[in-house]
Structure 1
Amino acid sequence: MRLGIILFLLFFLPGLACGAVLSQEEKVLYAAYFFAPNRPPTTLGYVYTDFGPGNINFLERIDIVLDRDGRVQGVSLIYTPTDGFRRHVFLRDITGFLLQETRPNVPGKKVLIRTVTTDEIAKIE
């Protein structure tokens, strides 16, 4: 009996939770910086939190993640660096972020910025 309940919870309830994209907009960015409390850096540099003028072209999408009460839970970044592997990174404890738009006649990268619910970030595209 318990096994049946556990299987039901594992396989059927996740499908009932519906994620939502609350808003989305494309912006041409010159740079994007995400601030987090001090934590040990990854030794090989796999996780990027700064996309300056030199690597803004790696960034594809920024998801600002809200919980059911509308509080910011973190930021999800989707980017593809020069190694060709697409990365999905969720930064839970950010303290802020800076999105710098381009000036006229300055190159930048068109980035999709979305505001989503926590259920939406489980969908990897």
Structure 2
Amino acid sequence: MRKVFFVLALVVLLNFSLPARSEVLSTTEKEVYAVYLVPAPRAFPTELGYVITSFGPGNINFLERVDVVVDREGRLQGIQLVYTPPDGFRRHVFLAGKRSLIVQEARPGSLKKKVLFRVITSDELNRLD
């Protein structure tokens, strides 16, 4: 009986300790006018003061990439933003939880910026590109 329990425990341990595959599931580049993130209802009250979550016509040039992060089963885990504000330091910010993402496409003749949108697995968050 002990051997059976040991073998089952070993199988379970090995199953969860295998390295996870990080993947980019989908990628597209889009010319946008503005990108807005509406925080989750239970977001921290200071979150909007420290993280840019509104990339309108005045600061759309800061935004480089938006990653929608899902787990291995495809459930939404959050959104990662990659942007470089005027101070020159590139920021990779992961906003956990469900949020609303509003993307305004550019009209002909309007201000626009090409932004990369990706759907990635949560294991891909460890890779800073």
TM-score strictly above 0.5: yes
Q: 1:118 aligns with which of 114, 122, 125?
A: 122
Whose helix proportion is higher, 1 or 2? 2
Q: CA deviation at 1:64?
A: 0.4
C-alpha displacement at 1:109, in angstroms? 0.6
Check whether the contact 1:35–1:94 (CA below 8 A) recurs between aligned residues: no
Question: What is the percentage of aligned positions where both structures have the same residue?
Answer: 53
2:31: which partner in 1?
28
Letter in 1 for 2:37: F
Q: CA deviation at 1:42?
A: 5.3
State the TM-score, normalized to the length of structure 1: 0.82
User: Where does structure 2 lack aligned partners over 5 or more consecutive residues?
Assistant: 1-16
Indicate yes or no: 2:77 matched with 1:73.
yes
**Of 57, 61, 67, which residue of structure 1 is paired with 2:65?**
61
- What SS does the corresponding residue of 1:89 show, helix, strand or coil? strand
Letter in 2 for 1:116: I
Structure 1 Cα separation of the partners of residues 114 and 47 of structure 2: 27
Bigger Rg over Cα: 2
Aligned-residue CA RMSD (Å)? 1.7
* Equivalenced residues, count: 111
Under a length normalisation based on structure 2, what TM-score does the superposition of the two structures give?
0.79
Of residues 46, 52, 62 in structure 2, which corresponds to 1:41? Answer: 46
4+ aligned runs moved over 4 Å, structure 1: none
Partner in structure 2 of residue 91 of structure 1: 95
